[in-house]
Amino acid sequence: MLPRQGVTPALARFVASTRWDDIPDSVRHEAKRALLNFFAVAIAGCRTKPIELALKSLAEFSGGKQATIVGRTERIDALNAAFLNAAGANVFDYCDTHLPTVVHPTSPLAPAVLAMAELRKVTGPEFLLAFILGFEIECRVGAVVSPGHYPKGWHITSTCGVFGAAAAAAKLLGLSETQIVWALGNASTQSAGLCECLGWPAKSVSVGNAARNGLFSALLADKGFEGPPEPIAGAQGWIAAMGEPPDWPALLDNLGKSWEVANNSIKPYPAGFVIHPLLDLALDWRQENPNATVTKVTARGNPLLVQRTDRPEVATGRESQVSLQHAVAAALVLGKAGLEQFTDACVNDPKVGALRKHITVSSDPAISTIAVDMEFTTSDGKVHKRSTQAARGSAANPLKDAEIERKLRDEARSWNARHDIQPLIDAVWTLDKSADVSTLAALSVPR
């Protein structure tokens, strides 16, 4: 590629100059939705094996107790809190998705902003503004190297998350345009993460680093730690090293006019996206027919649904997340499609296993990936037809605010039935009126 000058400075100028008043109400609202979802998935992940082991490994070296580990009573220094919270939020791949890039933007970003709010005094508008700007930089940096970057093996949430975390922390530190260029330079030289690690605890290392190192990048720049003038688009900079033909308009056009957080998508279920329309119908049907016994299910959907998820035999919880048979069977038997329905235990549930065998799928290219036609056969021999054109959580049918709240409540309750998460929900919705965000993260911790 031909290097360009002035690219990183343009991003830095945008971050430095954008004010709270520049952010439309709808964009502010999307940011709050992303944060609520973040707390749901971070609580879900906070006691998993990767987080327990990483916490054990890091605690030996940490001194401060400055910052909250979401959902846990332990405290740790702000850099390590950022690491653990980002890693935890992404453990289940249940976090939000920026559909144009498949970046999961909030997992590496929110932890850096939360850590800053525990380090320095930050108001709600400052907090949301930094989050929105970090989101913008993270997704645009992802877009400039897409679509080639991810298929090559780069874990785009990690490689781009570090930019978002750096930009957001830089904004909260009040850095100048030049210092933000340094922060983005420090971030670019820490950008890392491989898809080969997906499915293993090792995945969490690069996601955690994205938050931790993004925060570190901004803290260094704040101290005067200088970097090159064009780290992203220079001759030996980030895009050059990544080796992708850059999509310059995706990086720079309409900065401050369009907002990437508006392209954010929040998952209602911890399963492959193409299974979501089936889960919508199965859960709705089950709710409407609580006493009926289903003996057989057929589905007709997009070819991608068949290619990726026609998997009647499953052995592990992880595998069950990409089995339409398991997902539909569990939803019908248990009336839910949360994390508990995609565990080894649920895979081995005899009722779920029995029903999986009677679920089949056929392919129809005329049906989109967010639509499906289904038939539920009940024990009385009757056949019940259902269909949907737009799965919940898709761009055409985003989750309702109440559904995101419910996701957070469910996750909080699943760890601790007595954990009252309502104060956290209220605090997020009223963030723009908060004078001090330092106690926000701690509301995720059960008393």
The token pair that represents 163 in the structure block: 């930019």
Q: Kindly determine how many residues on this chain lie close enough to bind a copy of itself according to the rule CB under 8 A.
A: 64
Which are the contacts of 108, defined by CB distance < 8 A and separation ≥ 6?
86, 90, 138, 157, 158, 161, 162, 164, 165, 207, 210, 211, 214
CB closer to a copy of itself, 168 vs 324: 168
Q: Is the CB of residue 83 less than 8 Å from the CB of residue 98?
A: no
Sole binder of a copy of itself in the list 21, 25, 60, 380 (CB under 8 A):
60
Using only C-alpha atoms, the chain has a radius of gyration, in whole angstroms, of: 22
Give the position of tokens 């330092």.
Answer: 438
CB closer to a copy of itself, 63 vs 350: 63
Per CB under 8 A, does 199 bind a copy of itself?
A: yes
Chain centroid offset of residue 81 CA: 17
Q: Positive or negative, the Cα torsion across 10, 38, 87, 370?
A: negative
Sole binder of a copy of itself in the list 223, 351, 357, 400 (CB under 8 A):
223
CB of 23 to a copy of itself, least distance (A): 30
Sole binder of a copy of itself in the list 101, 188, 394, 444 (CB under 8 A):
188
Q: Is the CB of residue 160 less than 8 Å from the CB of residue 101?
A: yes
Interface characters, 136-175, with a copy of itself (x: CB under 8 A) = ----------------xxxx--x-----------------
Helices (H), 145-244: 156-172, 177-188, 203-222, 238-242
CB of 323 to a copy of itself, least distance (A): 21
CB of 175 to a copy of itself, least distance (A): 13
Residue 408: count of CB within 10 angstroms of its CB: 25
Per CB under 8 A, does 104 bind a copy of itself?
A: no
How many whole angstroms separate alpha carbon 324 and alpha carbon 358? 12
Per CB under 8 A, does 64 bind a copy of itself?
A: yes
Q: Positive or negative, the Cα torsion across 62, 66, 67, 72?
A: positive
Per CB under 8 A, does 107 bind a copy of itself?
A: no
CB of 447 to a copy of itself, least distance (A): 26
CB closer to a copy of itself, 20 vs 248: 248
The CA–CA distances, whole Å, from 202 to 38, 138, 194, 199 equal 21, 22, 9, 8
Per CB under 8 A, does 201 bind a copy of itself?
A: yes
Sole binder of a copy of itself in the list 9, 108, 142, 193 (CB under 8 A):
193
How many whole angstroms separate alpha carbon 188 and alpha carbon 228? 11
Sole binder of a copy of itself in the list 5, 17, 22, 53 (CB under 8 A):
53
How many whole angstroms separate alpha carbon 112 and alpha carbon 117? 9
How many whole angstroms separate alpha carbon 212 and alpha carbon 216? 6
Sole binder of a copy of itself in the list 7, 27, 31, 79 (CB under 8 A):
79
Residues paired with residue 413 on neighbouring β-strands, in sequence order: none
Per CB under 8 A, does 235 bind a copy of itself?
A: yes
Per CB under 8 A, does 228 bind a copy of itself?
A: yes
Residue 426 burial (CB < 10 Å; 0-12/13-18/19+)?
A: exposed
Per CB under 8 A, does 39 bind a copy of itself?
A: no
Per CB under 8 A, does 278 bind a copy of itself?
A: no
Which stretch in 101-109, 237-245, 377-385, 407-415 sits in contact with a copy of itself by CB under 8 A? 237-245
Residues near a copy of itself (CB under 8 A): 50, 53-54, 56-57, 60-64, 66, 77-80, 152-155, 158, 182, 185-186, 188-203, 205-206, 209, 213, 216-217, 219-220, 222-228, 230-231, 234-238, 240-241, 243
